[in-house]
Structures are given as C-alpha cells and as structure tokens.
Amino acid sequence: MKKGTIIFALLVGMLIPIRAGAQLINLKTAPVATGDQFLVHPAVNIGMGNVSIAQDDTLGDTFINPATAVRVKGTKVFMLPAFYRISNGNGSAKTLTLGGLTSSGNWFGGVGIAIQDMSQASGRSNLLKDESTNNNYFWVQGGTQLSEKTSLGARFYWASLGAMDGVDLLYPRSRRIEQDGYMLDARLGLLMETGNRGEFEALLLYSRTDMTHEVFYDDFITFWNVNSLTTTDFAGQLRVEENLDKTNTLGMHLGYNQAVGDDDWKLGGIFTMNYKTHPKIPNYELMNIPRDPGNTWAFDVGIGASHTSEDDIRFGADLIIEPIWSNTWVEAQQNILDPEGTTVLVAEGEKTIENDFAFFNSAIKTGLGWRGEHMLWEGGIRAKTFRYRLKQWNYIQQSFRRQREHWTEWTFSMSVGAFLKDIAIKYTGLLTYGTGQPGTNNVVWGPQFFAANAAGDFIFAPDGDLMLDDATVLTHQFTIMVPF
C-alpha cells in the first residue's frame, strides 16, 4: 500500500465523509447515566465499539441510511431480547424486538416492532403505574435500485413513550412523575458506488420529540411545637406541575469511503449537520430558568479506518469531533418592574435570561472482531468526552456568569455468536462508566434520586457547578437471525 495513496484517501475522507453511527446529534449538559432505552435494532459491529465510518455494518447501516438495505439479499427475520440495569437499583428496562428485512429484484424494505417495559428506581413510589411503564416502537422502510450502482431508500420510525430515561433524575424533589409523548423520525437516503472502489452516501432527516411531564410534589406544612420549641414538617396536598419538552431536528449527512491497497484497508470520513429548535424546554430542578425556548447548530466531523485480514480478523477505528453551538432564553410574560415599581427593567416579550453554550465534544471508537464458519467474537471500546462552556446573562439583575464543565463516558463492549444450519445467535454485553446521578452545588439529593438513559436532548443551564454520584449501566442483548 503506497504512502501517497493513504494520504490521498485520508484527505478525501476528511472532505467527503461517510456514515455516522447516528445522524441525530444529542445534547447533554449533565452526565446522566445512560441505559440503552433505544437499543431496538440489530447491528453487526455493536460488539466492536460500534465502529461505523469505514467498517460496513450490513444490519446496523440499514436502520441509519435506508438505502443501504440494498446489501441485504433475500429475507431475514430477527428477534432481539434486551435488558439493561443501572447500578444501585436505579432503574432497568426489558425490550423485545421483532422485525425483518427483505429484497426482491430492484426493491427492498423492512418492518419492525418493539415493546418495552421500563422499571423506575426502587423506593420512589409504591404505585404500579409509577414503578413501571411501557414504550412501543414501530418502523417501516423501503427502497429501490435506481441503477446498478445507485440506490434510494426511505424510512419512518415512531415511538410511543410512557417514559424517557433520565427525566426522573432532573426532578429530584418530586414524589413521582408521569410522562407521555412520542418521538418520530423520517429520513431519505442515497447510496452510490463510485468507479474507483469507493462508496458515497447522503441522507436527509427530520426528527421530533414531544413529551409532557406531570411532576407531583408534596407541599409541606410546618407546625410549631410551643412546648419543645421545635418545628415539624408534615406532607400536605400534592402539587402538580406540567412541563413540556419539545424539540424539532432537521439533519443532513454526507459520506464517502474508499478501499485502498489490495482492498484489505478502507479509509473514510463523515460530516453530519443538525439544526434543532427547542420550542419548549422543561423547568428542571437542576436549573433556575423556566419556559426557555432555544435553537442549536450541531456538527459531527470524523475519519475512520478498517482492515480485514486473510483470516477474517476485522479491525476498525473512528475519531469524531463534535462542535455544537446552542442558545436558549427566557421571555418575559409581562413587564418586569424594579422594586419601586417605577422603571421597566424588561418589557413583555423581551429576554430576561439568555444562555449561550459552546460544546467541543470528541469520541473515539475502536474494536476487533473475528468471524469464522461457525462462530464469531468481537470486542471494543467507546470513549466520548463532553466539554462545554456556558455564558449566562441575567437582564433583570444586570449580571453575567461563566461556567465550564467536562466529563468522559466509557463503554466497553463484547459479542460472541454461533452460526447453525438455519439460524444465527449472538450475545452482546455493554458496560458503561463515567455517568451517574448529577446534581449541582445548589441542589442536594438523597439516595432516592436516580438516573437512567437519554436518547433525547438534555439542554439546560445548570444553576451551579455539576456534582456526580457515579453509576454504571450493564446491558445484555441477544440477536436471533433466521434467513429465508
């Protein structure tokens, strides 16, 4: 393999990128412990750290860019039982997925459904509806070959959600939370082979999250004991607050990968852009800003390499940087006056508080895998570092503050599988460190506060420096594939 060829391919990969592991770029301003709530699709490379830029994933790619389902030959039916648990009794979920992919002539497509039972952290409530909830997922996709080397595909995904993991943590003083809402994702993908052993892809997507949080609080009544000169707090009536969580995302993804040398090496890159609007962001307790809308520009830029040896040993590595700029604010619901009531500090409709976030996240994914005639094994590591700077202006108090936060989340993965005559079975285990139960130095929590997963966005301005009670997440997934 010539040095000049490698350098040229790297430059091409940086300028004309390829597939991202996920074209939806999620926002996090706190290290909420992540359970794999949305792990409802099969993937070949999940045990290899989910490398994706220059390593083909004949299953996982089809659910990201539906045009890549052209690679699936015949009909494959799959079943995925999955289970995850967050340490210290902080929640868990069980998921069962059933679906299939098929192709015939120039047409291809797929359909799937998943049901999920999510358990809340122990000790928060004894009511059955508070201890567990159900989520349902459905998707359908299809496409066609426009020519021998060009394919077009479309996909629609719907999730009916009784809960999203991680939300309970952000209301640590509540007695219970009732959630209801949905997520939808629609995307159109293009896949094209080039004449020089390369592959180009493009993707457009629209995604929406629409959730309602009904948060129940105990209003305490304080009684004064004249004999002991002490006070006692008693729980009074429940107080209910309704918070809305709405985010709309428009996304674009471009990609390219290139075989180099004798085809045992591949090099590629990615470029992904998301524009998000946040009409409603919940008034979480870890921040002190209600009713704040906002918007976000987010980007992924990365390069990757993969190698397949003559012994079918596969190696892959991805490096991704993720710059994000987000702006949220609060609008005055009426004129806000000074203490004397003579001067208007902020007029109705103007901003009372404004937050500017600047993120510079980065991720490394790498893994090894081997596939033989009757079995396979995979191992990998994913490390993602979150860094952001917050600038906050308070136009009522005429004040300004800065805050910087950073943390790294680690996920270790492994898979083992067996290929029988008419069935393939694979087990995947995932172990995540570096997340937990976040709070701030202005919000103190007790042992009843917990964290879970978030595949949605957590974009809020903390009201103080972040604190973390560590938690780990262990996920088990079985993939059963039957070809027809």
Is residue 183 within 8 Å of 475, Cβ to Cβ? no
**In the predicted structure, residue 120 carries a pLDDT above the cut 80:** no
- Please give the average per-residue pLDDT across 5-10, as a whole number: 31
| Per-residue tokens: 45 | 């490379």
Which residue has 């946040």 as its token pair? Answer: 278
- Please give the average per-residue pLDDT across 223-233, as a whole number: 58
CATH of the domain at 127: 2.40.160
- How many CB atoms within 10 Å of residue 31? 23
Q: What domain range includes position 75?
A: 3-483
Counting the structural domains of the chain, the total is 1
Instruction: Tell me the pLDDT of the chain averaged across its residues.
Output: 83
**Strand 375-394 with 351-371, pairing:** antiparallel
**In the predicted structure, residue 27 carries a pLDDT above the cut 80:** yes
Is residue 162 within 8 Å of 182, Cβ to Cβ? no
Assign 362 a pLDDT band (cuts: 50, 70, 90): very high
Q: What is the pLDDT of residue 460?
A: 52
| Per-residue tokens: 186 | 């629609």
| Per-residue tokens: 302 | 């990365």
- Chain CA centroid to CA 312, Å: 31
Q: What is the pLDDT of residue 14?
A: 32
Q: How many residues comprise the chain?
A: 484
**In the predicted structure, residue 17 carries a pLDDT above the cut 60:** no
**In the predicted structure, residue 304 carries a pLDDT above the cut 70:** yes
- Please give the average per-residue pLDDT across 353-381, as a whole number: 95
- Please give the average per-residue pLDDT across 239-264, as a whole number: 89
Q: What is the pLDDT of residue 289?
A: 45
Q: Please give the Cα distance from 14 to 303 (Å, whole number).
A: 6
Q: What is the pLDDT of residue 216?
A: 84
Q: Regarding predicted confidence, which is higher, 408 or 164?
A: 408
Distances (CA, A) of 390 to 56, 211, 279, 387, 396: 38, 25, 20, 10, 19
The string over 205-240, giving b where at least 16 C-beta atoms fall within 10 Å of a residue's C-beta and e elsewhere, is bebebbbebebbbeeeeeeeeeeeeeeeeeeeeeee
**In the predicted structure, residue 191 carries a pLDDT above the cut 90:** yes
- Please give the average per-residue pLDDT across 81-99, as a whole number: 91
Q: Please give the Cα distance from 412 to 451 (Å, whole number).
A: 20
**In the predicted structure, residue 231 carries a pLDDT above the cut 90:** no
Percent of the chain with pLDDT over 90: 55
Assign 285 a pLDDT band (cuts: 50, 70, 90): low
Q: Please give the Cα distance from 470 to 123 (Å, whole number).
A: 19
Q: Please give the Cα distance from 189 to 330 (Å, whole number).
A: 37
| Per-residue tokens: 169 | 């943590």
Q: What is the pLDDT of residue 454?
A: 37
Over residues 423-444, the pLDDT tens digits come to: 999 999 999 998 876 655 554 4
**In the predicted structure, residue 252 carries a pLDDT above the cut 90:** yes
